[in-house]
């Protein structure tokens, strides 16, 4: 079997910990972008005018069905040529945010479809403008039921952050690779990184599952 060098594992832990901080940073920022742009996409898809709805739909379908990694490379190499110089982390956040915005937009769409037509009609009858209708009536009802699904995507994004190592972002996996290359010992860093992901995912799943349960009982 493989020998697991605990001393070495202990030694590399701080460096991997620094990577974890970057990982969390990327996840949080990426998710902020995803939930806001995702909502915008969902609303655009529901627009009456086809000039707005169709490109939004095409964007969502296209980005959803193609690999995040390729989109990441695309932004990393193409944006500087177009004049936008961003740090690797910023590029990574942008890629994660745009990619997951498409998933979130599907989630929002499901939530919005779940609102009975009567709610829209009541708002119209009270002469609330479209903005107020959305903000005061529709969204407060549409968003809470879909929060568990968004939570699951947050966890999924967290697990996708290692892709950012491809564009030199110093998150956990990248640091593990650097450390392993120096010492030629791969098992300990990779196992630690794997366990770290597992632990964070399992811990983060607890509030999400509780939310799911709480939201299921009253309505169902």
Partner 1 sequence: MLSLEFIPSLLKGLEVTVLLTAAGALASVPMALAAALAKMSGYRLLRWIASTYVEVFRGTSALVQLFWFYFVLPLMGLRLEAFTVGVIVLALNTGAYGAEVVRGAVTAVPRSQREAALALNFSPRQTMWRIILPQALQAILPPAGNLMIELLKNTALVSFITITDLTFSAQILRAETLRTGEIFGAVLLMYFAVALAITACVRGLERWLARRHGSVAA
Contact residues toward partner 1 (CB under 8 A) are 1-2, 62, 65-71, 73-74, 77-78, 81, 159-163, 165-166, 173, 177, 180, 186-187, 190-191, 193-194, 197-198, 201-202, 205
- CA 90 to chain CA mean position, Å: 14
Residue (133 or 174) nearer to partner 1, CB: 174
Residue (69 or 178) nearer to partner 1, CB: 69
CA atoms of 220 and 214, how far apart (whole Å): 11
62 close to 105: Cβ distance less than 8 angstroms: no
Minimum CB–partner distance for residue 174 and partner 1 (Å): 11
CA atoms of 147 and 128, how far apart (whole Å): 26
Minimum CB–partner distance for residue 220 and partner 1 (Å): 15
188 close to 9: Cβ distance less than 8 angstroms: yes
Residue (141 or 180) nearer to partner 1, CB: 180
Minimum CB–partner distance for residue 166 and partner 1 (Å): 7
Residue (120 or 186) nearer to partner 1, CB: 186
Q: Which residues contact 15 (CB under 8 A, 6 or more apart)?
A: 175, 179
């Amino acid at each position: 079997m493989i020998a697991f060098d605990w001393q070495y594992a202990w030694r590399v832990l701080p460096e991997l910990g620094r990577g974890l901080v970057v990982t969390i940073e990327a996840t949080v920022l990426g998710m902020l972008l995803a939930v806001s742009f995702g909502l915008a996409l969902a609303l655009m898809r529901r627009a009456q005018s086809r000039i707005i709805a169709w490109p939004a739909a095409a964007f969502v379908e296209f980005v959803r069905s193609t690999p995040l990694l390729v989109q990441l490379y695309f932004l990393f190499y193409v944006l500087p040529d177009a004049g936008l110089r961003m740090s690797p982390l910023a590029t990574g956040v942008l890629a994660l945010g745009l990619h997951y915005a498409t998933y979130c937009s599907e989630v929002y769409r499901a939530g919005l479809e779940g609102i009975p037509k009567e709610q829209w009609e009541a708002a119209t009858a009270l002469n609330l403008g479209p903005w107020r209708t959305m903000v005061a009536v529709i969204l407060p009802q549409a968003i809470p039921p879909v929060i568990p699904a968004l939570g699951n995507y947050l966890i999924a994004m967290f697990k996708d952050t290692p892709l950012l190592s491809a564009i030199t972002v110093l998150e956990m996996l990248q640091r593990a690779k650097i450390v392993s290359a120096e010492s030629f010992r791969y098992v300990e860093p990779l196992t630690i990184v794997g366990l770290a992901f597992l632990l964070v995912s399992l811990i983060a799943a607890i509030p999400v599952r509780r939310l799911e349960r709480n939201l299921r009982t009253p309505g169902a």
